[in-house]
Amino acid sequence: MYCDYFNSCGSCTLHSISYEEQLLRKLSALKELFGSLYVDDLDIFRSPPIHYRNRAEFRIWHEGDKISFAMYGFDKRPVLIDACPKTDVAISKLMPNLLQNIEKKSVLKERLFSIEFLSATEGILVTLVYHKSLNQEWEDEAKLLERDFGIHIIGRSRGVKKVLSSNAVWDCLHVKGKNYRYYLEESAFSQPNRSVNSQMISWVMNRVENAPRKDLLELYCGHGNFTLPLSNYFEKVLATEISKASIASALKNCQANERENITFIRLSAQELTQALEKERDFKRLKDIDLDSFSFSHLLVDPPRAGLDEKSCAFASRFETIIYISCNPQTLLRDIKTLSATHKIKAMAAFDQFPYTHHLECGVILTSA
């Protein structure tokens, strides 16, 4: 990927070497980090080197009557940009024309702080974030902008969210010969690299399809990104997530994909652990018989902080643990804890964020 702003924009930190070189550097660091725990081959999943992000956010910089997209540079100062080759093709094409049209309308331009993009197979969601209140005049002009570009616009200011036509977009992932539809809500987390996301799901599916299995427990399930495809391989699935928006999306996705063996619950990982250990009763579980599940597999995809000590102890009870991690350091910490009961059977590297030091990981652990 070539970008005019490689030497100034701080978003891409590995811009001085080719994609293959930077990937080899990251893989080398990962192998060294886990060298004492895993010496077998890594499964490696590459990203497209350009137009790979379907989610992006840019500051808006004002100079007189002109506005520009901006990113922070290596010196922490704003770098004005007119393009970003990391964004997927749909966002990349939309960015300059959208900004030009916003610039022509003072009510849309005034005190505009940032623009967020979420691109999916069935539309683009654009969130305009302001440091002012949004009145009827703003809404009228934003609706015209929405119509002219065929997009969905949301306006945000302090304490206010104005949804003009839709709060979400539908995305479709093709994984192992099947299509899965996902309802992606503006305020809920979704994977930013569609290509690598499909590869992550495929890797997990390939690793469980021929293994002995009963039911699946998933913690941090989000909108059902892994849940829906993996439900093909298990008798029943129990999936939990603390975010209301994510659970609402997950239920829509379950219905859209006609899955009947998944139960979604809005509980944190810690709360579910307490429920399964009979330490606490939860009203949200009154119609769910936890004793009816016979779990053989646990899937966790936690935030960067990883698992807490009690969740690690809980995870150690499962025959097979599937751990998806966005932070190799906390993954290493947790696997060292789990190594008392489990060993690494397979490990993968997913290059979600090219031209950065970041590398996502997947690990399959089986009871020793």
How do residues 96-133 score in pLDDT, each as one tens digit?
Answer: 999 999 999 999 999 999 999 999 999 999 999 999 99
State residue 211's pLDDT score.
87
pLDDT at 75: 84
* Percent of the chain with pLDDT strictly greater than 70: 100
With the CA atoms of 242, 243, 244 and 247 taken in that order, what torsion angle do they form, in degrees rounded to the nearest 10?
-80
The per-residue pLDDT for 187 is 85
| pLDDT score of 349 | 98
Please give the Cα distance from 362 to 328 (Å, whole number). Answer: 10
State how beta strands 123-130 and 178-185 pair.
unpaired
**Residue 361 to residue 162: CA distance in whole angstroms:** 37
pLDDT digits (tens, 9 = 90+) for 34-77: 999 998 999 999 999 999 999 999 999 999 999 999 999 888 88
Phi, psi of 116 (to 5 degrees): -115, 140
347, amino acid identity: M
**Residues in the chain with pLDDT < 50?**
none
Check if the beta carbon of residue 349 is closer than 8 Å to that of residue 43. yes
Q: Is 282 strand, coil or helix?
A: coil
Burial of 114 (0-12, 13-18, 19+ CB in 10 A): middle
Q: Where does 172-243 have alpha helices with state H?
A: 194-208, 227-230
* DSSP secondary structure, 66-122, as one string: EEEEEEEBTTSSEEEES--TTB-HHHHHHHHHHHHHHHH-HHHHTTEEEEEEEEETT
Please list the active-site residues.
Answer: 326, 360
Which pLDDT score is estimated for 165?
Answer: 96
How far apart CA 23 and CA 203 sit, in angstroms, is 19
| DSSP reduced 3-state for 31 | helix
Which pLDDT belongs to residue 269? 84
pLDDT at 15: 82
What pLDDT score does 315 carry? Answer: 93
